[in-house]
A and B are shown apart, each in its own frame.
Chain A
Amino acid sequence: MGYDFDFDVIQRSWVYLFRDGMTFSLTLTALASVGGILFGTLLALMRLSSFRSLSMVAAGYVNLMRSLPLVLVIFWFFFLVPYIGGWLTGSSQPTKVGAFSSALITFTMFEAAFYCEIMRAGIQSVSKGQTAAGCALGLDYRQTMTYIVLPQAVRNMLPVLLTQTIILFQDTSLVYVISSTDFLGAAVKVANRDGRLVEMYTFAALVYFVICFTASMYVRRLQARISIIR
């Protein structure tokens, strides 16, 4: 039909695509999900706290983040973070923040709002009696959370946490707006350089599909394996 496919372009570029692009995507996903889950758990504990001011601050933060488009937040933080850095270090000049660091901070902060809601549901899925049993043994709040509530909450929510992480992996492709080169960004660069748009987009789609589909299959199998015997 008049289009001359040339999949040889993949052969020529795959080392660059994976070594530069995919490494960026996976590193960003890994660090942002770990950071997001930790910060999200903290937010969840704040939201469930009996101190009204703490829970209101956390709720405000979560609702703000969940109401904004991710692209907007990526831009916003890209321009905002250097000023906050300057303000934190007490310097009058904005701090220099690299695109990767900026993306990492953005994704951590943004995803934390979503992880917070997952962890909140997870914590609430652990019965009040478990907390009471921890207290009755003489464990303090921190110990009860660390050894009794959070391990069960994470286990109950692990499939959802991982699914959210798969979504995060897909969302990292939005870093093109701050000129970072993730896997998709690298594919687009090659596509433009060699004039092979259809091939590269097809290839990128295939790679994303294989990774995400495999991961979600794995999540499904994990779900069956880790459920707590009751």
Chain B
Amino acid sequence: MTDNNNGVLVVVEMVESQPIDLGLEMLALARRLTDSMGGTVTAVAFGTGLETTGEILTAYGADQVLINDNAIFANFHAEAWLPDLSKIVAEVAPAIVLIGHSLSGTDLAPRLAFRLDVDVATGCESIDIINGRPHMTRSCFGGLAREVVTFTKTPAVATIRSKTQQALTPMMERAGEVKHVTSILDVNSIRSRVVNREREKAVGVKLESAKIVIGGGLGLGGPEGFNTLNEIAELVDGAVGASRAACDLDWCPRSYQIGLTGRTVAPELYLAVGISGASHHMAGCGNSKTIVSINSDPDAAIFKSSRFGIVGNSQEIMPALVEEIRKLKA
């Protein structure tokens, strides 16, 4: 058995022909990894309308970009991705394959790993090369613990959590090679059929890219509680998120969920309102620069991760906060 050793392959997820931030963040990680273990950084993008993708991904750190531009890849479908992706991984022979820990990535990565007959580490926060071998650090037990794992066979397949890496400053003059791949996909091999797709209208700034995120939980007392959160978000150009408990009660759209199985945010400011601070929730916001929380229970766990805390009733504090921010912004 020969070991793969040609650097790092990054699968960059494209949305509306643009790479998502997480893809660019993983390129930075890939660069750091190849700096320490050698080899090249290969970025792979599937989608349509990818004319400028090669340049962009090169600027963000890829040495080689493989573009699979085909109408069939307009929407993510793991079964459609797998034949081409497995072939690409076999040809490039990377030591590490990085895939985003998004819903698509978590649907794709384990399938790819089993096709390659290797193990996979999902939801990694960091990867370090120790004695030439990748050590993956990932959260487990609902965010209460961390494990560090290594694999006995290459490539190491890992999904990376959003906002755990910082994208490089793009350098348009960076040299790289851009290649177009010819798809080998036989559409008859796709066994699951998407018969309908309903997307929610995106509300406000995208959660992952917002500098300020305001999260609401059961302590809001009801769906109306989200109104003041929205007001603040509008004033400060932020985005609104929520705990799973609030989503489960339909107080807000599902897509607001932050946490272990929701979205991962790491804004400059995370304002947690009426959220208890369960590890499962903190798994999605614990890397925020500053956490400020408002909770009626002085012993709420959320205060243990907060820079500033207010013990009080959110229904009284929040309207007052809207007023104060409005004054400051005037």
A and B: bona fide binding partners: no
